[in-house]
Amino acid sequence: ELKMIYYVTPTYPRPEQMPELTRLAHTLMHVPRIHWIVADDQPHCSDTVLKLLRRSGLPFTFISSPKPFVYRGTNFPRGVANRRAALSWLRENVQEGILYFGDDDNTVDLQLFDEIRNTKKVSMFPVGLIGDYGVSTPIVKDGKVVAFFDSWSGSRTFPVDMAGFAINIEYMKPSASMPYIAGHEEDRFLVSLGLKLDEIEPLAANCSKVLVWHTKTAKYKKPSLKIDLHSLCLDYY
Ligand code: UDP
Ligand code: MN
């Protein structure tokens, strides 16, 4: 039987939220044995998002995971309270399967799901559209990860993007945690697993193919025309 994939998506209200989540839902609807964990960074789960989740027919868990007030400045760690809430939900409810952190605005090739589903401990693969180099990827030699290619090393042990790895839940330690440190969320999380370089399983043809992109949507500006935004299913904040 196929291992279940737990797809963890932090999300927050803004005009682009529904289109992003609609697009992602329509990708996930093609994937067998997937459970979508959507974690809203508000004190209450959004009704509009809940309706979309129900309509998708996907198995889902919708979590309210308000972000601490102190992290509201500029360059705050984005989506951390949400991912931490998802991690504690997984700890309490799930014994096996694959965990993947998929932001609401990324673009995923369906082949990625076939690749990550067989992760033994931690698998890694390239992510497109990251930083100045345009890609962030492990470097593979003789089938083993030996180094990383990323435009910002930031003195990280594992300089990878959030979308660049998957974890077998059986390998997750109770100590697994993600810190509120912008830019270091991925690295500190992987370090908290006790991961060693030679344990990493390179996917996507030895990290030679891009199957996920860190796409970003341009921020929408409020229209000057007065229209009934609710009829367009947009929420304005
Ligand atoms: N996010 C969130 N709360 C915020 C900002 C971001 O939950 O205040 C989520 C967002 O929906 C996304 C993830 O955290 O799933 C990463 O945020 P974003 O895409 O803005 O960051 P970037 O891709 O630019 O690093
Ligand atoms: Mn993003």
ipTM value, please give it: 0.99
Contacts 24+ apart (CB under 8 A), 90-96: 90/6, 90/37, 90/169, 90/172, 91/172, 91/174, 94/4, 94/6, 94/169, 95/169, 95/170, 96/3, 96/4, 96/168, 96/169, 96/170
103 is in an annotated binding site: no
Q: Is the CB of 103 under 6 A from ligand 1?
A: yes
Q: Determine which residue's CA is closest to atom 9 belonging to ligand 1.
A: 79
Residue 73 confidence (pLDDT): 72
Residue 159 confidence (pLDDT): 98
Is 92 tagged catalytic?
no
Q: Token pair for residue 200?
A: 């990493």
Nearest to 220 by CA among 203, 205, 204, 234: 234
Per-residue pLDDT of the chain (237 residues; tens, 9 = 90+): 999 999 999 999 998 999 999 999 999 999 999 999 999 999 999 999 999 999 999 999 999 999 887 776 778 899 999 999 999 999 999 999 999 999 999 999 999 999 999 999 999 999 999 999 999 999 999 999 999 999 998 999 999 999 999 999 999 988 899 999 999 999 999 999 999 999 999 999 999 999 999 999 999 887 777 766 555 555 543
Residue 1 Cα to ligand 2 midpoint, Å, equals 32
Q: Is the CB of 104 under 6 A from ligand 1?
A: yes
Nearest to 147 by CA among 191, 198, 193, 194: 198
Q: Which of 103, 219, 235, 237 is the pocket-test mutation for ligand 1 (most atoms within 8 Å of CB)?
A: 103
CB 4 within 8 A of CB 226: no
- For residue 10, give the DSSP letter: E
Contacts 24+ apart (CB under 8 A), 78-81: 78/10, 78/182, 79/10, 79/12, 79/39, 79/41, 79/103, 79/162, 80/10, 80/178, 80/179, 80/180, 80/185, 81/39, 81/41
- For residue 130, give the DSSP letter: -
Tell me the sheet residues that pair with 134.
none
Give the predicted TM-score (pTM) of the model: 0.94
Residue 234 confidence (pLDDT): 53
Which atom of ligand 1 lies closest to the CA of 39?
A: 7
pLDDT digits (tens, 9 = 90+) for 104-128: 999 999 999 999 999 999 999 999 9
Dist CA 46 CA 33 (whole Å) = 25
Q: Is the CB of 11 under 6 A from ligand 1?
A: yes
